[in-house]
Chain A
Amino acid sequence: MRPRLYPVFKYTVIAVWACFVAGPFFWAMTTSFKDANAVQGGATYLPWIQYQPTATGWRNIFGGAGGIDVIQPFINSAIVTIAASAISLVLGSLAAYALSRYRFKIGFIKNSDIVFFFVSQRIMPPVVLVIPFFYLLQWAGLLDSIAGLVIVTVALLLPIAVWVMVDFFNGIPREIDEMAMLDGCGPLQTFVRAILPNSLPGLTVAAMFCAVFGWNDFFFAFRLTFTEVQTLPQAVVALNSSIPPWWTLSAAALFGVAPLVLLAIWVERYLSKGNLSGAVR
């Protein structure tokens, strides 16, 4: 390729991919301001020109007539995601620190095997877990409860936290531990006061992954909670029927994905600095 044509090629490819990425959001955004007439007449794209925008869809998701209320599902999703992420990050970074700094040998099991055990749990298909979880939670009286959903979500998130944090801790020089120890810190103090403050980029990336997989989980919530606790993905999918109120569905969908999109914008600086590279080696 001639060098002069390269920029043209580059920006064309970027623009095409950007349209593909943004397309569904554009469609959801315009649809959320349509009414029944604007939807049933065929595809339209431009507000004011092709159809008259209305806020019905958005009113419907905040308790308007004929809609759903997304506030309670939003709160449920937020509690489950934050609690499960927090538990996974605490347990996960403690375990990751141990695996990064100490040598374990239990019979033939070594450090790398323990790390592999954690990470291998991601291979487990949710459908293998969900029926036993159902009976386990029923036995514990936690079916259809936030606490029950938090416990099973930890099983999804803990492997991610360990995976990201082990490699991040491996990248932190051991001299930092030694300095803290010389200053009279015990192991736990060393971890809390010397290692954690140096781990914010790694913790941010791990927290982001936990938040994504926790917030976006549908299957566990779908099978293990019913009437008492409804999460946001459940609420949105419940709207998706054969003759859907597309305007309400679009508004609810945008409302449901907005928190994590904002999170993406915020954590991009950590993600793009190569902080993750340790985790993929």
Chain B
Amino acid sequence: MYGLRRHKSMFLLPGLLTLLLIIIFPLLFTIRVSFSGWNVSSPQMDFIAGANYATMLHDSRFWSSIMRLILLAGGTVLIQYVIGFGMALLVWRDVRGRRFWRVLFLVPMMTTPVVMAAIWQMIFHESLGPLNDLLGMLGLTKVAWLTESGPALVALMTVEVWQWTPFMFLLLLAGLLSLPKEPFMAAAIDGADVWRTFWKVTFPLMAPVSVAAVIIRLIEASKLSDSVYVLTSGGPGSSTETPGYYLYIQGLRDQQTGYSGAMSLTYLVLMIVTLTVVAALLTRALKLKGHS
């Protein structure tokens, strides 16, 4: 057809070029900066080869933030998946007030993470917050939720589960609603009970959606930093720091621009590699073909 070649570029190019223009400069800039000792106060951008990367290799604070992120993201995404799937199954069919529950279970996802983290900070407050008050009523000892490293991590995970389980719920409910009816009728005729129907029919049919939902959540969770900033500011000490937050401290607060650039790129590469491997493993484990 005449002009088709021109037309197809006309559709694609505006979006593609916009994104390339917005993304490519920051990426090249960060690569250049990562080989310099540059900070905001020095006018010249020098070249110090791999010195930043050498420093980074010995920066245990950076590496422990990476390990912490892997545990936090992996742990919370798994919890989100289990609860999100469970809730989607419960309000999928025959439940009273189905629409009400669906809306209610979606709401946390629509709220601003930093703003809700501020609300959670009040809830976790050691002496004035409701959580310790309720623990007290039950006769339990109060917990220093945000000023002790273990409880602070639990608090952070609680907020993440609260905020993002709805996203899993949304994707999995959409998946459940688009499933074909025939396999369920066949299972009912065979006399399979609820448990058996789930493992033999629902779960395998939902595998592609599940993998996609888990990968999307892992991508978003790997950037975790906003709620850390509000809830604990990385503390106590650096016990709740994620790479996103540590990079903010180094690059923006302490203005070690070159060093934070080197860590940024390392963090980005590690994330891409990890997520690709996880995606491949999940796809293979569930014997999916041709799905992302």
Contact = CB atoms under 8 A, between A and B. Distances in A.
Interface in A64-96: 91-92, 94-95
B68 interface: no
A268 B106 contact: yes
Interface stretch (B13-21, B72-80, B183-191): B13-21
Contact of B19 (A18, A158, A237): A158
A27 B195 CA distance: 37
B178 interface: yes
Nearest to B275: A123
A240 interface: yes
Interface string B260-278: 1100110110011001000
B34 to A, nearest CB: 10
A133 interface: yes
B212 A281 contact: yes
A174 to B, nearest CB: 14
A271 B130 CA distance: 34
A256 interface: yes
A154 B22 CA distance: 9
Contacts of A45: 130
A264 B103 contact: yes
A129 B225 contact: no
Contact of A280 (B114, B174, B264): B174
A262 to B, nearest CB: 9
Interface string A22-36: 111101100100000
Interface stretch (B58-66, B117-125, B148-156): B117-125
Nearest to B134: A43
Nearest to A112: B292
A232 B177 CA distance: 35
A43 B128 contact: yes
A31 B122 contact: yes
Contact of B248 (A6, A127, A129): A127
A275 to B, nearest CB: 7
Chain A at the B interface: SS class: helix
A233 interface: yes
B15 A218 contact: no
Interface in B216-257: 216, 219-220, 222-223, 225-226, 230, 243-244, 247-248, 251-252, 257
Given A125-B264, A127-B248, A162-B15, A10 B170 contact: no
Chain B at the A interface: SS class: helix
Given A104-B8, A128-B264, A265-B103, A21 B108 contact: yes
Interface stretch (B25-33, B49-57, B196-204): B25-33
B287 interface: no
Interface in A239-258: 239-240, 244, 246, 249-250, 253, 256-257
Contact of B33 (A13, A18, A131, A188): A131
B118 A237 contact: yes
B33 A22 contact: no
Contacts of A97: 11
B22 A40 contact: no
Contacts of A128: 26-27, 30, 247, 264-265, 267-268
A281 B208 contact: yes
B115 A256 contact: yes
Interface residues of A, number: 95
A256 to B, nearest CB: 5
A164 to B, nearest CB: 11
B174 A123 contact: no
B107 interface: yes
A27 B174 contact: no
Contacts of B178: 274, 277
B12 A104 contact: yes
Contact of A236 (B115, B170, B222, B226): B115
A276 B216 CA distance: 14
28 contacts: A1-B195, A13-B86, A31-B122, A42-B127, A43-B129, A94-B15, A95-B15, A98-B12, A121-B19, A123-B268, A124-B23, A128-B27, A128-B30, A131-B26, A132-B25, A132-B27, A154-B18, A155-B23, A158-B15, A187-B4, A216-B113, A218-B114, A219-B225, A240-B230, A244-B122, A261-B107, A276-B170, A280-B212
Given A122-B220, A240-B230, 12 more contacts: A6-B194, A10-B90, A14-B91, A42-B128, A43-B130, A95-B16, A123-B222, A127-B225, A257-B115, A275-B174, A277-B174, A280-B174
Interface of B: 3-4, 7-12, 14-16, 18-19, 22-23, 25-27, 29-30, 33, 83, 86-87, 90-91, 95, 99, 101-116, 118-123, 127-130, 132-134, 162, 166, 170-171, 173-178, 194-195, 208-209, 212-213, 216, 219-220, 222-223, 225-226, 230, 243-244, 247-248, 251-252, 257, 260-261, 264-265, 267-268, 271-272, 275, 291
Interface of A: 1, 6, 10, 13-14, 17-18, 20-25, 27-28, 31, 39-40, 42-43, 45, 91-92, 94-95, 97-99, 101-102, 104, 114, 117-118, 120-133, 135-136, 151-152, 154-155, 158-159, 162, 186-188, 191, 212, 215-216, 218-219, 223, 232-233, 236-237, 239-240, 244, 246, 249-250, 253, 256-257, 260-261, 263-265, 268, 271-277, 280-281
